[in-house]
Amino acid sequence: MEQPDIAQALERLVGPVEPEVGCDECFAELDRYVELELAGADANAAIPGLRAHLDGCPACREEHDSLVALVSAEQRRS
């Protein structure tokens, strides 16, 4: 008798709907995300999953907020 692979079955069921974004990836893409956001572009479509990560991760959200403040201050200066 073969045991069904639960993890595999679950993965098939849930599926990779959106790429899972971790803190490292979030950090790597945050500059680009904030620039798109401030440019009025659809940052959520450009970098799928990052918005969801920010919503669920206070540390990255804080990083995002301070980056927004920094970049918008820079844009005002130039």
Q: Which residues bind Zn ion (CB under 5 A)?
A: 23, 26, 57, 60
Looking at beta carbons only, is 23 or 69 nearer to Zn ion? 23
Per the CB < 8 A criterion, the answer to whether 44 and 72 are in contact is: no
Q: What is the C-alpha separation between 13 and 76, in angstroms, rounded?
A: 48
Looking at beta carbons only, is 46 or 61 nearer to Zn ion? 61
Q: Name the minimum Å distance from CB 59 to Zn ion.
A: 5
Cα 66 to chain centroid, rounded: 16
Residue type, 30: L
Q: Name the minimum Å distance from CB 60 to Zn ion.
A: 3
Q: Name the minimum Å distance from CB 47 to Zn ion.
A: 14
